[in-house]
């Protein structure tokens, strides 16, 4: 048994041993712990939905589905509707996703596809990720004091010359959809950039070498090979970014203008579900509280649908690219 | 900046409070170290925090005050999660009925609500007639060079600029007092918008909401053509121009501690020290002002009651000295007497 040279060759003596009682029990313990934690999270989600649903139940009975299509929010007459907030949430998040998604992907390509020396790329990556550490309130203030004055001349010009387009049909008052969406885009950019970089980095180096070997140019490699191969990861980056944009509260409450109207205009004040909750919750009376819970439930449902749809699309695109079932 | 972070991030506050509630033992365990917890109105928050700081230092007690809004303060008070609360709208009868220990309402300071504006080229002295400013907020007057504004300001160069109304997006005592006043002087406003801590404002692109007094102030400062209602202290602090308003006697009065004092002199407080000043008479009275109240339990822990009585004593005498500097109106002497008498009820 005690063959010295053999022991040296394979010092991991436990490999050949049956697991000890301690190892078995610790393994079981960790399994149980992981299972409990997983179940706990599921229960927590179920509990949150159940609790909010319970609080929202009176409002659901009272306003039915009309809550989703009405645009009143009147505490005096107790008429509540979330259409402007739902519209504003989706509209602002979509613009943020288009802008933030484009720039996020560009940043990811720039930092991973040999445009910069490795060390410099690392520094840039840190700087982009630092954006994620800025508190929402600071983004809100920055939006008020920097973004709005900055876009005002352009907004005025667009309104004056292209005002017949519904997107530019109102003049910018200050807070409004566009400043909110721009700040949102910046807030989701680090998420999209970071996950897209990981996706691009995880494409095997051989794939790239093969593409170069076939005579492809740098840009052909990036756009025809790298990005499609990493599409799954890039797509989930977009979904996560969109999810973050939907739920973002504080900066939006400060920038969106909190006006209950449905408008295509980029410069009009609007409302989002999260901002509505944040600004009305602290002082809401009984009926308004139920309506707010209903709105919270709607926000939860939208987020859920976006995530499920995102995962569904992700598997679809991956199947197409990898050819696997 | 500190107050913005503190006051705006309510949701986060709740999350932290909820987390703490899970971790920490409940309130009574702290009673011995005499830590007083209060919550409520954000309108008097600047002066309250100055008072609490000073009072705590002198008396060796800790006072934690969360400016989460009058409605939230009343809610906490009814649920007994605080030792005292503060409200710009005092308390309604049905709310008082829900507190079985009884309630002592103390008007402790008062403030004016001003119309701050941002008109390029007009940096001071804008006069707004009594029939004009309700119509601006009802969305009926939409341009700064409207003849009705121009005729009251013959010398001012009013630009051809749309009026952007900036109002509170959260529900607030400031909105309550302001809309109550507008409803009192304008039947149209009363009928179309009404009064309350939140109201349904006209749905136009030129009516935007911002959170809290600081949010409204910042938005006004950043938006050419904006007008909005804020607490006088915030306008004073940020040096934002404010309008002179025409009062019941037809005089234009600018907000100041003197015109505020004239307004308070017109106020009639009931035996429970509640009372509204919807449309004060008097040539020097500024039209929009309101008391703000502290709410105490009538019967409570003797030790806490003593400290709270001392606090009322401090705030109604020494505390009033800093009121003017901070943009609030010192209480009239008659009210101070009543406050002292009422504070003896906190037992």
H runs (alpha helix) in B24-67: 45-59
A144:B218 CB<8 A: yes
List per-residue pLDDT tens for chain B, 347 residues long: 444 444 444 444 444 444 444 444 444 444 446 889 999 888 888 899 999 999 988 888 889 998 887 888 888 899 999 999 998 888 888 888 888 888 999 999 998 999 999 999 898 889 999 999 999 999 999 999 999 999 999 988 999 999 999 999 887 888 989 999 999 999 999 999 998 888 889 988 899 999 888 889 999 998 999 999 998 888 888 899 999 999 999 999 999 888 988 888 878 888 888 888 888 888 889 999 989 999 999 888 888 898 999 999 999 998 998 888 888 888 888 888 888 888 888 88
CB B304, CB B82: distance < 8 Å? no
Q: Cβ of B208 and A284 within 8 Å?
A: no
B29: Cβ contacts below 8 Å, ≥ 6 apart? none
Q: What is the DSSP letter of B143?
A: B
Please give the pLDDT value at position A72: 86
Q: Do B226 and A282 touch (CB under 8 A)?
A: no
Task: Select from B131, B174, B175, B122 the least CA-distant residue to B153.
Answer: B122
Pick from A126, A106, A123: nearest CA to A234: A106
Q: Which residues of A touch B72 (CB under 8 A)?
A: 282-283
Contacts of A57 (CB under 8 A, 6+ apart): A290
CA–CA distance, B121 with A287 (Å, rounded to integer):
46
For residue B340, what pLDDT is reported?
Answer: 86
In angstroms, the CA B186 to CA B203 distance is: 19
B249 neighbors B281 (Cβ within 8 angstroms): yes
Residue B264: CB atoms within 10 A of its CB come to: 24
Average per-residue pLDDT for chain A: 88
- The answer to whether the beta carbons of residues A257 and B219 sit under 8 Å apart is no
Nearest to B208 among A173, A280, A283 (CB): A173
Among B71, B204, B215, select the one facing A283 at the smallest CB separation: B71
Give B12 to chain A, closest Cα distance, Å. 9
A275 chain-B contacts, CB cut-off 8 A: 169
What integer pLDDT is reported at residue A13 of this predicted model? 55
Helix (H, G, I), strand (E, B) or coil at B66: strand
Q: Residue A214's pLDDT is what?
A: 92
Taking each helix axis from N to C end, the angle separating A231-247 and A83-112, rounded to the nearest 10 degrees, works out to 140
Q: Is residue A296 within 8 angstroms of chain B, CB to CB?
A: no
Residue reference for tokens 């649920």: B79
Contact indicator for A238, A97 with CB cutoff of 8 Å: yes
What pLDDT does B34 receive? 82
* Distance from the A173 Cα atom to the nearest Cα atom in chain B, whole angstroms: 6
Quick check: helix, strand or coil at residue B212?
A: helix
CA A206 vs CA A210, A319, B245: distances in Å:
6, 21, 76
Count how many pairs of residues, chain A against chain B, have C-beta atoms within 8 Å. 128
Count other Cβ atoms within 10 Å, centred on residue B69.
29
More confident residue, A109 or B271: A109
Distance, CA of B84 to CA of B346 (rounded, Å): 11
- Looking at residue A1, its pLDDT comes to 44
**Residues of B whose CB is below 8 A from A180:** none
Chain A residues whose CB is inside 8 A of the B199 CB are 74-76
CA-based end-to-end distance of chain B? 38
Residue A49 pLDDT grade (very low, low, confident, very high; cuts 50, 70, 90) = very high
Contact yes or no for B71 and A263 at CB 8 A: no
Question: Looking at CA atoms only, how far is residue B55 from chain A in angstroms?
Answer: 28
Interface test with A, best of B77, B194, B210, B216 (most A CBs within 10 A): B210
Please report the pLDDT score of residue B216 as a whole number: 92
Strand, helix or coil at B96? helix
CA distance A3 to B54: 80
Return the ∠ at Cα A243 (arms to A237 and A247), rounded to 5°: 145
Q: Which residues of A touch B66 (CB under 8 A)?
A: none
Min Cα distance B15 → chain A (Å) is 12
Would you call A149 an interface residue with chain B, using a CB distance cutoff of 8 Å? yes
Q: Which of A76, A254, A263 sits opposite B194 (nearest CB)?
A: A76
* B199:A141 CB<8 A: no
Check residue A324 and give its pLDDT: 52
Cβ under 8 Å to B: A residues 251-290: 253-254, 257-261, 263, 265, 267-269, 275, 277-285
Rounded to whole angstroms, the Cα distance separating A185 from B81 reads 40
Residue pair A140/A251 in contact by the 8 Å Cβ criterion:
yes
> Which residues in chain B are closer than 8 Å to A284, comparing Cβ atoms?
71, 171
Per-residue pLDDT tens digits for A252-305: 989 998 888 898 999 999 999 999 998 888 777 788 889 999 999 999 999 999
pLDDT for A292 equals 93
Closest CA of chain B from A76, distance in Å: 7
A-interface mutation test, from B165, B222, B225, most A Cβ less than 10 A away? B222
pLDDT of amino acid B119: 94
Question: Does the beta-carbon distance from A145 to B208 stay under 8 Å?
Answer: no
Residue by residue, what is the 3-state secondary structure of chain A?
CCCHHHHHHCCCHHHHCCCCHHHHHHHHHHHHHHHHHHHHHHHHHHHHHHHHHHHHHHHHHHHHHHHHCCCCEECCCCEECCHHHHHHHHHHHHHHHHHHHHHHHHHHHHHHCCCCCHHHHHHHHHHHHHHHHCCHHHHHHHHHHHHHHHHHHHHHHHHHHHCCCHHHCCCCCCCCHHHHHHHHHHHHHHHHHHHHHHHHHCCCHHHHHHHHHCCCCHHHHHHHHHHHHCHHHHHHHHHHHHHHHHHCCHHHHHHCCCCCCCCCCCCCCCCCHHHHHHHHHHHCCHHHHHHHHHHHHHHHHHHHHHHHHHHHHHHHHHHHHHCCC
Interface pTM, i.e. ipTM? 0.77
Of A254, A265, A284, the CB nearest to B210: A254
Distances (CA, A) of A105 to A63, A95, B169, B248: 42, 15, 35, 62
- Residue of B69, B198, B203 with shortest CB distance to A75: B198
Residue B6: its pLDDT value, please?
45
Q: Which residues of A touch B9 (CB under 8 A)?
A: 137, 250
All residues of chain B having their beta carbon less than 8 Å from the beta carbon of residue A257 are: 208-210
From chain B, the residues in CB contact with A140 under 8 A are 8
Q: Nearest 10 degrees: CA dihedral of B275, B279, B280, B283? A: 170
Judged by CB atoms closer than 8 Å, whether chains meet at A282 and B71 is answered as yes
What's the pLDDT score for residue B142?
93
Q: Between A167 and A10, name the one with better pLDDT.
A: A167
Q: Give Cβ neighbours of residue B65 (< 8 Å, ≥ 6 apart).
A: B38, B39, B40, B45, B48, B49, B52, B86
> With an 8 Å Cβ cutoff, is A170 touching chain B?
yes
Specify whether the CB–CB gap between B235 and A108 falls below 8 A.
no
């Amino acid at each position: 048994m005690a063959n010295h040279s053999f022991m040296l060759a394979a010092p991991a003596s436990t490999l050949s041993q049956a697991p000890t009682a301690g190892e078995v029990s610790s393994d079981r313990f960790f399994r149980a712990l992981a299972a409990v934690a997983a179940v706990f999270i599921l229960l927590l989600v179920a509990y949150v939905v159940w609790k909010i649903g319970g609080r929202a139940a009176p409002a659901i009975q009272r306003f039915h589905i009309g809550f989703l299509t009405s645009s009143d929010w009147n505490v005096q007459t107790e008429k509540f509707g979330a259409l402007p907030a739902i519209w504003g949430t989706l509209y602002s998040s979509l613009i943020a996703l288009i802008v933030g998604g484009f720039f996020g992907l560009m940043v990811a390509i720039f930092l991973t596809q040999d445009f910069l020396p490795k060390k410099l790329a690392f520094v840039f990556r840190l700087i982009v990720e630092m954006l994620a550490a800025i508190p929402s309130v600071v983004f809100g203030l920055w939006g008020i004091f920097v973004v709005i004055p900055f876009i005002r001349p352009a907004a005025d010009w667009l309104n004056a010359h292209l005002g017949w387009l519904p997107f530019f049909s109102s003049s910018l008052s200050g807070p409004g959809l566009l400043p909110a969406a721009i700040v949102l885009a910046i807030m989701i950019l680090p998420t999209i950039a970071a996950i897209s970089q990981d996706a691009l980095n995880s494409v095997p180096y051989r794939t790239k070498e093969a593409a170069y070997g076939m005579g492809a140019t740098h840009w052909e490699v990036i756009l025809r090979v790298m990005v499609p191969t990493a599409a799954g990861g890039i797509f989930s980056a977009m979904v996560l970014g969109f999810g973050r944009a939907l739920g973002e509260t504080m900066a939006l409450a400060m920038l969106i203008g909190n006006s209950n109207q449905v408008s295509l205009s980029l410069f009009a004040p609007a409302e989002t579900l999260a901002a509505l909750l944040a600004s009305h919750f602290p002082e809401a009376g009984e009926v308004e509280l139920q309506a707010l819970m209903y709105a919270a439930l709607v926000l939860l449902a939208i987020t859920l649908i976006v995530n499920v749809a995102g995962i569904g699309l992700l598997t679809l695109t991956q199947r197409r690219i990898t050819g696997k079932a | 900046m500190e107050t913005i972070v503190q006051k705006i991030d309510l949701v986060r506050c709740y999350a932290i409070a909820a987390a703490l509630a899970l971790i920490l033992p409940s309130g009574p365990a702290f009673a011995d170290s005499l830590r007083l917890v209060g919550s409520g109105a954000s309108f008097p928050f600047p002066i309250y925090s100055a008072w609490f700081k000073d009072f705590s230092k002198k008396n060796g007690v800790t006072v934690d005050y969360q400016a989460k809004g009058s409605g939230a303060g009343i809610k906490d008070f009814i649920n007994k999660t605080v030792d005292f609360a503060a409200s710009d709208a005092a308390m309604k009868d049905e709310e008082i009925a829900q507190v079985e220990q009884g309630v002592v309402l103390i008007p402790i300071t008062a403030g004016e609500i001003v119309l701050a504006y941002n008109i390029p080229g007009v940096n001071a002295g804008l006069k707004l007639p009594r029939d004009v400013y309700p119509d601006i907020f009802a969305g009926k007057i939409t341009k700064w060079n409207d003849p009705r504004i121009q005729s009251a300001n013959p010398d001012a160069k009013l630009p051809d600029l749309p009026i952007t109304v900036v109002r509170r997006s959260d529900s607030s005592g400031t909105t309550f007092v302001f809309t109550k006043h507008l409803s009192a002087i304008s039947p149209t406003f009363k009928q179309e918008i009404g009064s309350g801590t939140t109201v349904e404002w006209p749905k136009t692109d030129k009516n935007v909401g911002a959170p809290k007094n600081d949010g409204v102030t910042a938005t006004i400062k950043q938006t050419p053509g904006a007008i909005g209602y804020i607490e006088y202290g915030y306008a004073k602090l940020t040096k934002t121009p404010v309008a002179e308003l025409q009062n019941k006697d037809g005089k234009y009065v600018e907000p100041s501690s003197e015109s505020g004092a004239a307004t308070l002199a017109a106020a009639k407080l009931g035996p429970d020290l509640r009372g509204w000043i919807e449309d004060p008479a008097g040539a020097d009275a500024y039209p929009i002002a309101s008391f703000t109240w502290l709410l105490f339990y009538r019967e409570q822990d003797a030790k806490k009651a003593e400290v709270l009585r001392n606090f009322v004593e401090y705030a109604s005498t020494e505390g009033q000295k800093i009121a003017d500097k901070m943009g609030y109106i010192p209480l009239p002497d008659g009210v101070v007497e009543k406050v002292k008498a009422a504070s003896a009820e906190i037992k």
